[in-house]
Chains A and B, each alone.
Chain A
Amino acid sequence: MAEEQKKVPTRPMPKLTELDTADFWHATKNKEFKYQQCANCQTIVWHPRAHCTGCVDGDLQWKTSKGQGTIYSFSVVRLSYHPFFRSKVPYAVAYVDLDEGPRFLTNVTGVEDPLTDVHIGQRVTLDWEEYEELSIPLVKPV
């Protein structure tokens, strides 16, 4: 059975060893979408990293998003050569603006037909795809 499962192509998974983004991914195990804000200059830093991009004496604090956002733009992929995604076409990739500020790249789930059911300006909420060590923050329409 384990052998069989290995043959199924999987989504490209984030590396938990990447030092700037490891804290973010560890928090996703508990379905928490963390982002950073500088207590000194208030800049919201996205993607996560060790330094503030707004000032040179930054004091980055982790915050947790409420998980609500708006689709800024999207595309429905019809052609992919990736072993996992080629079986998923057509699927929607989208930039989502979380209400707290971070704009992140994700997939839109929970729609019957991505060709007709995904729109710019659409309100979405986080829809976690769970794995053993972390969860992937997808979104679905509210």
Chain B
Amino acid sequence: MATQSRDAAIVGVYEYPSRDVEGKVNPLQIKAASAAKALADAGLTWSDVDAIYDASEGAPMSGLMISEYFGIKPSVIDTTGVGGSSYEFHAAHALRAIRDGKAKVALLTYGSTAHSSAMAIGAGGRGGGVAPGDNMESFAGQTLIANYAMVARRHMHDYGTTSEQLAEISTATRYHAMRNPQAVQAMNDLEFLNIRETTIEDVVGSRMIADPLHLLECCMVSDGGGAVVIASADVAKNCAKTPVWILGTGEATKYPQNGADLTSSAGVESAPVAFGEAGVTPAEIDIAMIYDSFSITVLTLLEDLGFCAKGEGGAWVEGGRLRFDQSGGPALNTDGGGLSSNHPGMRGIFLLIEAVRQLRGESSSQVNDAKLAVAHGNGGMLGGRHSAGTVILGRD
């Protein structure tokens, strides 16, 4: 604890409000609009930015293209693209660049029109693919949802986890979403049925998409984006808002291997590194921003992050302890999560944004005196090739 560093802080955030842009803006425009707002949130401007981070989802050489488009001249360019967790990786890399004295102000942006472009993300055919391994798998028609479902099925087999327990994840995030006007608007714009708090019965009674995952255990596909500004301690001191310090980070990868345990993710490796660097334990965490592509993602990651032992996640989430107004566990995805607020394909940036809102006292489901948050992104597919990025955040 004594060695906990405060070298870099998140000083500006912005979440693009619309989840259905109806073809009127493109992903780059969402990135730029969000970047300008996040810089303004920090009391900074374009010319302050000397480090750019981009997940390279838009185009090859995105680090060059995005710099020109924004009109900035960064000396640190990082285009790490590892799926939805890219932004946790970017935060980790920005901390290191700033700690090394290579940069003072880092800008992370995301923009997507997955909804209005009608991208078939979850239940598409999964033909094609770019890796040699994909040529072994595309014949089987494993939808993305089925990939996660296979993790859930094995978790149930090994540990007796039930659909009712998994549904706790969905009901907690919807509980938070109903308090967030942007999330409610999102569900309206995306034509959700029955926009209200849900019960366990609602979730397990919803349509089965890929056994054992039901509709209300699957994230939405929205438009959206956002931006995060990370600054050195010197810069952060003079910014407009309370700095939210990056206290620890961890990164890891996992991919299909013979005999591997499908019920654990790469988070098993990234989390101890991040918690160790921060000098804190999961029990001290007030806010858990955990990538909720599906219910099983959160259950697996709660275990991998160390909130409970492997296999005990099902029993641990029972009884609503993940809600912002209950004790006994961290508040989960207090913005409403990917399940009920915002998931344009790569949700990782929103994990950082809502964690910052909580630590500033700006959340629509504010936890009293929130001091410590974890943002954990899972990119790629939980039951296949994926990346894990853990970021521990805290305020003074």
Which chain A residues have a beta carbon within 8 Å of chain B's beta carbons? 11-15, 18-21, 24-25, 44, 46-49, 72-85, 88, 91, 93-95, 97, 101-107, 115, 120-121, 136
Contact = CB atoms under 8 A, between A and B. Distances in A.
B77 interface: no
Given A82-B127, A95-B150, A105-B137, A77 B132 contact: no
Contacts of A11: 139, 141
A91 B210 contact: no
Contacts of A48: 132, 136
Contacts, number: 129
A90 to B, nearest CB: 8
B52 interface: no
Contacts of A13: 139
Contact of B140 (A49, A73, A105): A105
Given A14-B138, A15-B135, A84-B141, A76 B258 contact: no
Contact of A73 (B137, B153, B213): B153
Interface in B117-167: 120, 123-128, 132-133, 135-143, 145-147, 149-151, 153-154, 157
Nearest to B384: A105
Given A75-B211, A101-B259, A80 B154 contact: no
A78 B258 contact: no
Given A46-B258, A79-B123, A80-B125, A14 B135 contact: yes
11 contacts: A18-B132, A48-B132, A75-B150, A76-B211, A78-B209, A79-B145, A84-B141, A93-B142, A105-B142, A115-B211, A120-B157
Given A73-B150, A84-B125, A103-B256, A79 B209 contact: yes
Nearest to A121: B157
Contacts of A82: 124-127, 141
A81 B208 CA distance: 15
Task: Please provide the 4 A-B residue pairs with the shortest distance between their CB atoms, ordered closest to farther.
Answer: A82-B125, A12-B127, A75-B149, A20-B132
A48 B207 CA distance: 38
